[in-house]
Amino acid sequence: MDGPNTILLVEDDLELAELTKERLEREGFRVLHEENGQVAAETITREQPDIVVLDIMLPGMDGFDVCRAVRPAYTGPILILTARDDDLDEILGLELGADDFVTKPVKPRLLLARVRALLRRSKSSPSPRRAEKMVVGELTVDGTRREAEIAGAQIELTTTEFDLLSYLMSRAGEVVSRQDIYQTLFQYDYDGLDRSVDVYISRLRQKLGDNPEAPHYIKTVRGVGYLMAGEKR
C-alpha cells in the first residue's frame, strides 16, 4: 500500500512553519521542513518529495533561485508562497518552473486545496483520451507513463507543462482558448488578466525548440488562444 504523500515545506518563519506543518500532518501528509534555501535545494534533489511548498524570502538562497536550481533534477509540483502581491513575482516564479502561486497570509483550507489539486494532477490516472500514446510530428506523449519525447529524445517537463502539452496534443489542429485551458488544467475560469498560461506556453516552446516568432508546433491565435499544429496520430 502506498504511504502518505511527502511535502517539503521551505519556510524560514519557524512559528508559521510549525503551524503549517502540524496542519498538513493532521491531514495525513508526511511533512519535511527546511528553513534555508541552499539546504532546501539539496533536500529536494535528494528526497524527491511529492510536492514542494516554497517561500520566496529565504536565507542562503531565495525561492526563485531554489526553483531554478532544482528544476533540472526535480519534475514534481512546486507551490510558491510569497508575502508580496506582485504580478512580476508570479510571472518570474512561473518562468522558473513553479506550478502554482499563493499570496501570504494564506488560509489553511486554501493551501490544502492547492496542494491536493497539484498532487491530483501529478498522480492521477489519465483519462482514456489522454492515456493513449499521442504523436504529433516528432512529438510523442505517453499519458500512462507521463513521458514526452521529441525526435526520440526525452523532454523533462514539470507537472503543469506535461498536462498542458498533453491537452494541446489531444486537440491538435484545433484552436484552444485560454478559458478552455484554465478550466481543464486548473478548474477555474480565466479572468482575462492572468498571464500564467502564456508563461507555460513560453516554457514549453523553449523545451520543444520552437521559435516563438515562427513556432512549428504551438502557434498563437491572437485574441483567441493557441493551436497545436499538425494531426494527432
For the record, the C-alpha cell of 114 comes out as 492547492
Tens digit of pLDDT at every position of the chain (233 positions): 467 999 999 999 999 999 999 999 999 999 999 999 999 999 999 999 999 999 999 998 999 999 999 988 998 999 999 887 666 777 778 888 888 888 888 888 889 988 998 898 777 644 434 457 899 999 999 988 888 999 999 998 888 889 899 999 999 999 999 888 888 887 766 766 667 788 889 889 999 998 878 888 999 998 889 999 987 77
CATH code assigned to 6-123: 3.40.50.2300
CATH 2.40.40.20 fits 128-228, yes or no: no
C-beta of residue 27 within 8 angstroms of C-beta of residue 112: yes
Q: Enter the pTM of the model.
A: 0.69
Give the C-alpha separation, 177 to 221, whole Å: 9
The domain limits of the chain are 6-123, 128-228
First-to-final CA distance of the chain: 36
